[in-house]
């Protein structure tokens, strides 16, 4: 195996079994499914950070200075 392209990940057997079932249901290989899950998680985190920043900016604009 080309170690510059692939890495191993250790997970509990019970989680692995559930993950394999999920991959079969989605008709994807485990590596393809993990790539999709990671992309979605990263996008969700970025959206969350953006929303927090926008809320902070909006709340700082709403403050009244006396």
27-54 pLDDT, tens digit per residue, is: 999 999 999 999 999 999 999 999 999 8
Give residue 19's pLDDT. Answer: 94
Q: Looking at per-residue confidence, does 9 or 41 come out higher? A: 41
29 torsion bin: left (phi>0), alpha (psi -120 to 50), beta (else):
beta
Give residue 5's pLDDT. Answer: 86
Give yes or no for residue 63 having a pLDDT over 80. no
Give residue 7's pLDDT. Answer: 86
- Using CB atoms within 10 A of its CB, is residue 9 exposed (0-12), middle (13-18) or buried (19+)? exposed
- Using CB atoms within 10 A of its CB, is residue 30 exposed (0-12), middle (13-18) or buried (19+)? middle
């Amino acid at each position: 195996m080309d170690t510059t392209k692939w890495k191993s990940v250790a997970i509990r057997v019970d989680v692995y079994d559930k993950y394999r079932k999920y991959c079969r249901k989605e008709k994807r290989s485990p590596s393809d499914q993990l790539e999709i899950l990671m992309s979605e998680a990263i996008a969700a985190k970025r959206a969350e950070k953006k929303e927090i920043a926008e809320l902070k900016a909006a709340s700082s604009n709403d403050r009244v200075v006396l």
